[in-house]
Chain A
């Protein structure tokens, strides 16, 4: 772990609608919680400076729309992500079942170098509610089957485990970077700009 150029960690939060993605981000970044539900449109990000392994890094947290009707825009921002947070609602079994598809979609769209070892973190949110439907055991089993994904049970409302979960997220994101460097000198940032890239030449197609 020698000197590293990059000190910006890109974290993407994914999950079904109304599982609490925006609330988790708000709780972590602003220490605020609101009971009102407002669907996120498209995507937006917040930044927060964190100290990981005695280093100050800026965490760029992307909050996304879970609702299908607000997913009318593209997800080019998945590219270059350092960590992906999968959120489900412990009171909604379907949001848990959909984690699989969120994970697959992310891997396809982000196409990381080493999909098998890309760092995910799973958060079971809303543990403050009484009507729990997804057991811890079931969630942990799923996480183990997917290459030991770290699992946390959180409550954005009460602020339970939020800080700790994001600490892990930051740590894993940073490790992923380190590994990436070992495998291959991390290339320049991906420039999302059509002019600098290929001029629409179909021969570059890899398939």
Chain B
């Protein structure tokens, strides 16, 4: 309790008063409640985070001026009960709906709404459990992070991590885990001393990732130190070229300058450089960028062909992967329509967590791209292709849905994913490539469809011509 109270003292002005006031009510609330019934343990923890959340957020993302009036209805403290929180959530939601799209206000409100909902859930869970154990394992929510106690030397992994040192993401000092309690964010992996937890300024990378939805697509979009007012982009420490303690360090991902405690010169590949230059060489990035890139790693978000169509010409491996994926998409249509394959869960079994690879061939995740370069993806996809092919060519139902080339009318069945076959983009018919070439690449089915349409139009127009003079003799004058 005392630690977070202390941390509040260095908050300036009205906010501090506001929070201190509520903190005193919090303790009185605790005292009064303790005797009557078992106190709702996480109510205090939840509210502690409640306070620190806005406190941190004022810096990370200040409350918009237009919302200051509403502040008292939105921000709750330790005495918040279910009713208060529910009311605040309802109010916040209304404000979200009223606010302008993509505005700062809406951004702030949505983040705040998430925090409020989280607190509510915590409170409800705590009330349901109502045991002291919860207090120990409680999750602390601070600027979007969900901190859980970190036990690096826990029972399981004592041997493995014995040699590894952990550093606090906030103060950069070593976490002496034997004597110092620490927390780790379950979403982004932010590691922090217990004593530092309420001063965390970096917004959780998970929040940023879900807001941004796409990794930064410009290569190192630098704005320069002057535009940053010679301040660290994260903690706003004044940067100085004279002292190496506060030297500006450029993050190659965000293009912003950071102080040495926010940029540890971690090396990581940069998404924009891969997309534009097919460059996987590691660059120096800030801690925030590293955590963000890690979270983007397995998300299939990159429309590579749209972003950089020429890449498929330059990189042969990519071309091979594209073709394989296109074939898998065709195969998936068969498997999705086949009861046997559904029963065997063939797709899940083969694709595991990478179903996007066979869903369409446009989206890539960052780890897909690194694996394209290493060749692992091609190998993986070839394995899947073989497994899918084995099923389709041995399953009667799948074979029944094969195609027959109507140009040569041979009884051999063909599939859209066969070599030497070509698909008409308009009517989805499949032909042998040689057969269609002989027909000057004119799809006979499309010709028939066209003819039929013309015929139908002619029929309709003659019908109309008959009907009109009969029904409305006045029309023909």
Residues of chain A touching chain B, judged by Cβ–Cβ distance below 8 Å, are 41-44, 71-77, 79, 97, 100-101, 104-105, 108-109, 111, 190-194, 197-198, 200, 202, 204-207
Q: Which B residues between 314 and 362 are near A, CB-CB below 8 angstroms?
A: 333-334, 336-337
Nearest A residue to B396, CB-CB = A192
Q: How far is the CA of A42 from the CA of B407 in the complex (A)?
A: 23
Cβ-based interface call for B174 (8 A): no
B401 x A75 contact (CB < 8 A): yes
A79 x B404 contact (CB < 8 A): yes
Out of A41, A76, A205, name the residue touching B403 (CB < 8 Å).
A76
B432 x A202 contact (CB < 8 A): yes
| A interface footprint on B391-433 (CB within 8 Å = 1, 0 otherwise) | 0010001011111101111111111000010000000101010
A76 in contact with B435 given A97-B456, A109-B404 (CB within 8 Å):
no
Residues of B within 8 A of A202 (CB): 408, 432, 434-435
Q: How far is the CA of A68 from the CA of B337 in the complex (A)?
A: 15
Out of A42, A44, A97, A204, name the residue touching B410 (CB < 8 Å).
A204
Residues of A within 8 A of B404 (CB): 74-76, 79, 109
Q: Which B residues between 432 and 458 are near A, CB-CB below 8 angstroms?
A: 432, 434-435, 438, 448-449, 452, 456
Nearest A residue to B402, CB-CB = A76
A198 x B412 contact (CB < 8 A): yes
| 30 contacting pairs across A/B (C-beta < 8 A) | A41-B336, A41-B337, A43-B401, A73-B334, A76-B399, A76-B401, A76-B402, A76-B413, A79-B404, A79-B411, A100-B452, A101-B448, A104-B448, A104-B452, A109-B406, A111-B409, A191-B411, A192-B399, A192-B413, A193-B413, A194-B414, A198-B410, A198-B412, A202-B408, A202-B432, A205-B432, A206-B410, A207-B407, A207-B408, A207-B435
Nearest B residue to A94, CB-CB = B456
B333 x A193 contact (CB < 8 A): no
A197 x B410 contact (CB < 8 A): yes
For the complex of A and B, the 4 pairs showing the least CB-CB separation, nearest first, are A74-B403, A77-B400, A42-B337, A205-B408
Residues of A within 8 A of B456 (CB): 97
A197 x B412 contact (CB < 8 A): yes
Given contacts A41-B337, A200-B412, A205-B434, 15 further A-B contacts (CB under 8 A): A41-B336, A42-B337, A76-B399, A76-B402, A76-B413, A77-B400, A108-B406, A111-B406, A111-B409, A193-B413, A197-B412, A202-B408, A205-B407, A205-B408, A207-B438
Q: How far is the CA of A105 from the CA of B448 in the complex (A)?
A: 9
Residues of B within 8 A of A101 (CB): 448-449, 452
A72 in contact with B428 given A194-B414, A197-B412, A204-B410 (CB within 8 Å):
yes
Residues of A within 8 A of B452 (CB): 100-101, 104
Q: How far is the CA of A43 from the CA of B333 in the complex (A)?
A: 12
Q: How far is the CA of A191 from the CA of B410 in the complex (A)?
A: 12
Nearest B residue to A77, CB-CB = B400
Count of chain B residues near A, Cβ 8 A: 34
Nearest A residue to B430, CB-CB = A74
Tell me if A's interface is mostly helix, strand, loop or mixed.
Answer: loop
Out of B334, B397, B399, B438, name the residue touching A205 (CB < 8 Å).
B438
A204 x B408 contact (CB < 8 A): yes
Nearest A residue to B421, CB-CB = A200
Q: How far is the CA of A190 from the CA of B404 in the complex (A)?
A: 12
Residues of A within 8 A of B430 (CB): 74
Residues of B within 8 A of A100 (CB): 452
Q: How far is the CA of A197 from the CA of B399 in the complex (A)?
A: 14
> Closest approach, in angstroms, between the C-beta of A190 and any C-beta of chain B?
6
Residues of B within 8 A of A197 (CB): 410-412
Residues of A within 8 A of B393 (CB): 193-194
Nearest B residue to A40, CB-CB = B337
Residues of B within 8 A of A193 (CB): 393, 399, 413
> Closest approach, in angstroms, between the C-beta of A61 and any C-beta of chain B?
13
> Closest approach, in angstroms, between the C-beta of B477 and any C-beta of chain A?
30
Q: How far is the CA of A190 from the CA of B408 in the complex (A)?
A: 16
> Closest approach, in angstroms, between the C-beta of B93 and any C-beta of chain A?
36
> Closest approach, in angstroms, between the C-beta of A43 and any C-beta of chain B?
6
Q: How far is the CA of A207 from the CA of B442 in the complex (A)?
A: 15
> Closest approach, in angstroms, between the C-beta of A99 and any C-beta of chain B?
12
> Closest approach, in angstroms, between the C-beta of B422 and any C-beta of chain A?
13
Residues of B within 8 A of A71 (CB): 428
> Closest approach, in angstroms, between the C-beta of B330 and any C-beta of chain A?
9
Residues of A within 8 A of B409 (CB): 111, 206
Nearest A residue to B400, CB-CB = A77
> Closest approach, in angstroms, between the C-beta of B114 and any C-beta of chain A?
38
Residues of B within 8 A of A109 (CB): 404, 406
Residues of A within 8 A of B414 (CB): 74, 194
Residues of B within 8 A of A41 (CB): 336-337
Nearest B residue to A62, CB-CB = B400
B401 x A74 contact (CB < 8 A): yes
B411 x A190 contact (CB < 8 A): yes
B400 x A43 contact (CB < 8 A): yes
- Of B336, B393, B404, B459, which is in contact with the most chain A CB atoms at under 10 Å from its CB? B404
> Closest approach, in angstroms, between the C-beta of B388 and any C-beta of chain A?
14
Q: How far is the CA of A76 from the CA of B420 in the complex (A)?
A: 18
Residues of B within 8 A of A43 (CB): 400-401
Q: How far is the CA of A205 from the CA of B406 in the complex (A)?
A: 10
Q: How far is the CA of A190 from the CA of B399 in the complex (A)?
A: 12
A205 x B413 contact (CB < 8 A): no
Q: How far is the CA of A109 from the CA of B404 in the complex (A)?
A: 7
| A interface footprint on B173-198 (CB within 8 Å = 1, 0 otherwise) | 00000000000000000000000000
> Closest approach, in angstroms, between the C-beta of A92 and any C-beta of chain B?
15
Q: How far is the CA of A46 from the CA of B333 in the complex (A)?
A: 22
> Closest approach, in angstroms, between the C-beta of B467 and any C-beta of chain A?
13
Residues of B within 8 A of A108 (CB): 406, 448
B412 x A205 contact (CB < 8 A): no
Residues of A within 8 A of B406 (CB): 108-109, 111
A74 x B407 contact (CB < 8 A): no
> Closest approach, in angstroms, between the C-beta of A46 and any C-beta of chain B?
13
